[in-house]
Structures are given as structure tokens and as C-alpha cells.
Amino acid sequence: MSLPLSSQNVIQYLQAAGLCSLEVGKSNIVELPINQKNYNLVVDLADEHKLLVKQERGTENEGILHELLNEWLFHQLLQKFPVLGNIWAIAPLVVHYDEENSLLVRSYLSEYQDLGEYYQKSNTFPTEIAAAIGTTLAGLHRTTFQGKEYRDFMATAPQGQFRYHFYNPAQGVGSLDPTIFGKIPTEALKFHVLYQRYESLEAAIADLAYEWNPCCLTHNDLKLNNILIHSRWNQLDNCLVRLIDWEACTWGDPAFDLGTILASYLQIWLESLIVDPTLDLSESLQLAMTPLEDIQPSLVALLQAYLQAFPMILTYHPDFLIRVIKFTGLALIHQIQDKINNCKLFDNSHLYMLELAKNLLTIPEQSVLSIFGISETEILFPVAKIQQTPQPEKEKQLVRIYYEKTRLRGC
């Protein structure tokens, strides 16, 4: 990386790249909170046009750089195949990619807001939003489903160099290593001890990895903070949603995307639990600040909207719903790992999360009712009616009436 980005040099960079006028007046530059991967700047140009400039902050030895390439390739894919035009509406427009400086520029959607922040502030979960997410995600998966030309494009960069590798996200927790001590909170060691004690859990994740079936383009990091909703979503004819941060975009398994977003919803409930040594799990669940019952309608709406927009997935994978439940459990485990590794945080609520994840992975059939509040049959019922193919009408068995000789009226 030859140019570390900053608020002092971003305007000069945009001018050199031809992304803003040399005569641009005073611009407002906002530095967004730094995450573990990127440094982000929002540049509000004088013509009320806003750009988001993000730059990876890792090193190539750490294996962090060049994840922005996936987002750029996704943008190139949409340009190369006009038939994917409907997908343009769900992702921000990428206007510039600089591989040498690990830097990407895209349009900033100023009329949209972070869905995670929306839920946090309002503590309401309109089913219209969840249904829009399900329909949007189904559109991405359905349009690219089993499209060899799209898979090959993502595997090979436009320059013809092989630079992309498919990644199976069904990965468990690695074995304890002496180097882990001092890197994570002492109390987090309990998570590793419990995980290794559950042999059925490791076996379930291994089975999920074996069953992994990449068949379409997937976002691969579909958490609430990577979903935007229009600030006036309830005043529009359609509840518009946008998916951002396509850095983990891959040719993958659609059940993983669905499981990830469902786990992100469940995290709202799990993080609202009242955790106290004097309370057992059932009491903590009853005292949750955001009861699961408040979230369940959105979980059902999201899943049913997805299946109604992409019913064919059940033809190819009749066990699709069960696999989604398993990936939801896996995503919860990944959430615990992220809290431990990035936030150095681990408490009893994460033990509850681990217990729920284990149930979702090892007994998914029994977990459907407890998570969604309705049975698998009830979830699939609206979709089953769509899948019913009209049968050709059987020829009516009528007795033919005829005369041996032609008769004329009046004769």
C-alpha cells in the first residue's frame, strides 16, 4: 500500500481519479468508526453527491488485503451480464477500485439507514421489512442459481488471472493452542472447553461442511448492519432494502445466507437477556428485554417471503429449511467467536447462545417450533400451494350419443 488514506488527502485522491471536479468547493468529510478490516470516509461533495471511500488496513501477510476485490468483481459481474439487471437495485454502485492501494469508492446511500441501528432505536420489528429482505435475498439467489457463467466469472478476475477461491464457511472452532492464552479473556476459555465437550456439536458441523452445496452467488456476511432500509420505507409502495459490504461475496450455499441473517435477528433477543448468577436459563429467557415472541413474526415473514420468491429451491433441496436452521446455529457460534476475538468479551449470555446453537445444529427438527413459534409444515404451507402444478384435466368419460342413420329434422 503506497497511499494510506486520510481526511487530509482524500479529496486530492478523488480529483486525481476523476471522481470529483478540480474546482470542487468545500466538502464535508466524515470519518466513520474503524472496524477490524477497513478505514471508511464519507465525502459529501459540493453538488450534494456523497461517496463512501474505504480502504483495507491489514497487510498481505495477515491475509486481510484484497477482500475488496470481491466487491469489485461483483460490480463487474453485474456490468458484464445485463440479464442480472434487477440485482443492481439491491447493491450500491461501485465507481472506482484501486487494487494497488486496496481502496474502493462507492456511492453513499444517504436516504438509507442501518437496519441494526433502526431496530436498536425503535425496538419494533415490522414484518414488512423482514419480508422485503427475504424477497431481495431470494432474487439474488434465484437469478444466479446454477449459473455456470456467473460462477466462472467470479472464479477468474477480468484480467484472466485466477485470483479467487471458493470458501466453505461451515467451519467449527479450532483446537486449543497455547498461543491463545493472553489473547482472549480468561472467562472465554470456558467457551472452548464446553465446545470441545460437545462431541455431537462438532459432528453436526462436520456434517454441515460435508453437505455444503455452492450453487449461486451469496453475500456471505449478511448481518443486520450490512442491510440498509429506506428512511421512508413505510411511506413507499415497496419496502426498499439494500445490501452493502460485498467483500465476502462468493459462489456459495444459499442456506448459509439465510442462516446468517436469522442468527442476526436472534442475537437481538439473546443480547437482551437478564444475566445473573441467581437466575437459571428459563428465568433469564422470561425476563428478556426483547422477548423472542416480538421477533418471531419477522423470522417467519423473512423465511416465507424468501421461499415464495424462490420456491424452486425446495424442489432441489427438500431439506432446505432444516439446513437453514443448522446454519443459523453455526452463525451463532461465529458470533461468539467474533465477540471473543474482536471485542474481548464473553459472559453468561454467550453460554446461553452456545446452548441454543448446539440445539439448532444437533436437533434442528425439534428447534423449528421453539425458534419460529410455528411448525415446519405451517411455515411451508403458503409455499406448498405455489409449488402445486396444475394437473391436466382428465377427459370426461361420457357416453357418446349417436344414430346409425342420419336423421333430418321434420322427416
Domain of 8, CATH number, reads 3.30.200.20
pLDDT reported for residue 342: 75
Q: What percent of the chain has pLDDT over 90?
A: 45
> Which of these ranges, 1-5, 161-165, 228-232, has the smallest mean pLDDT?
161-165
Residues 68 and 7 in one domain: yes
Residues 251 and 287 in one domain: yes
- Residues 350-365 have pLDDT tens digits of 888 898 999 999 999 9
* Cα–Cα distance for residue pair 100/2, rounded to 1 Å: 8
- Residues 182-214 have pLDDT tens digits of 677 777 778 877 888 888 898 999 999 998 989
pLDDT reported for residue 283: 76
Which among 71, 88, 108 is the end of a domain?
108
Q: What percent of the chain has pLDDT over 70?
A: 82
Residues 72 and 186 in one domain: no
* Cα–Cα distance for residue pair 219/254, rounded to 1 Å: 9
For residues 44 and 10, the answer to whether their CB atoms sit within 8 Å is: no
pLDDT reported for residue 159: 59
Residues 59 and 189 in one domain: no
Number of domains in the chain: 2
- Residues 254-294 have pLDDT tens digits of 999 999 999 999 999 998 888 777 777 777 777 889 999 99
Residues 15 and 136 in one domain: no
Top-confidence residue, 296 or 250: 296
Residues 373 and 278 in one domain: yes
Q: At what angle do helices 320-343 and 199-211 cross, to 10 degrees?
A: 120
* Cα–Cα distance for residue pair 15/259, rounded to 1 Å: 42
Q: What is the DSSP string of 306-334?
A: HHHH-THHHHH-TTHHHHHHHHHHHHHHH
Which among 70, 89, 108 is the end of a domain?
108
Residues 278 and 189 in one domain: yes
Residue 376 CB coordination number (10 Å): 15
> Which of these ranges, 116-120, 214-218, 402-406, has the smallest mean pLDDT?
402-406
Backbone angles phi, psi at 172, to 5 degrees: -90, -165
Strands 94-98 and 103-107: antiparallel
Local confidence band at 389 (pLDDT 50, 70, 90 cut-offs): very low
For residues 233 and 216, the answer to whether their CB atoms sit within 8 Å is: no
Mean pLDDT of the region 369-395 = 75
H or E element at residue 54: strand 50-56
pLDDT reported for residue 408: 41
pLDDT reported for residue 177: 66
CATH number for the domain including 148? 3.90.1200
H or E element at residue 270: helix 254-270
Which among 83, 108, 133 is the end of a domain?
108
Residues 98 and 123 in one domain: no
For residue 405, is pLDDT > 50? no
Give me the sign of the Cα torsion angle 109, 3, 71, 34.
Answer: negative
Query: Minimal CA–CA distance to 247: which of 77, 65, 121, 389?
Result: 65
Give CA separation, 201 vs 84, 176, 198, 205, 208, in Å: 39, 16, 5, 6, 11
Q: Which residues of 297-327 are buried (b: 16+ CB within 10 A; e: fewer)?
A: ebbbbbbbbbbbbbbebbeebeebbbbbbbb
Residues 138 and 17 in one domain: no
Mean pLDDT of the region 216-230 = 94
Strand partners, 42: 30, 52
* Cα–Cα distance for residue pair 280/271, rounded to 1 Å: 16
> Which of these ranges, 39-48, 250-259, 369-378, has the smallest mean pLDDT?
39-48
> Which of these ranges, 27-36, 391-400, 401-410, has the smallest mean pLDDT?
401-410
* Cα–Cα distance for residue pair 69/66, rounded to 1 Å: 5
Residues 326 and 371 in one domain: yes
- Residues 122-161 have pLDDT tens digits of 999 999 999 999 999 999 999 999 999 999 888 876 555 5
Q: What's at 292, amino acid-wise?
A: L
Mean pLDDT of the region 367-373 = 93
For residues 56 and 150, the answer to whether their CB atoms sit within 8 Å is: no
* Cα–Cα distance for residue pair 116/264, rounded to 1 Å: 9
Residues 261 and 402 in one domain: yes
For residues 347 and 192, the answer to whether their CB atoms sit within 8 Å is: no
Residues 88 and 197 in one domain: no
For residue 347, is pLDDT > 80? no
For residue 315, is pLDDT > 50? yes
For residues 256 and 169, the answer to whether their CB atoms sit within 8 Å is: yes
H or E element at residue 216: strand 216-218
For residues 257 and 219, the answer to whether their CB atoms sit within 8 Å is: yes
Residue in the structure block whose three cell numbers are 454502485? 93
For residue 399, is pLDDT > 50? no
Range of the domain at 359: 112-411
Give me the sign of the Cα torsion angle 49, 70, 139, 85.
Answer: positive
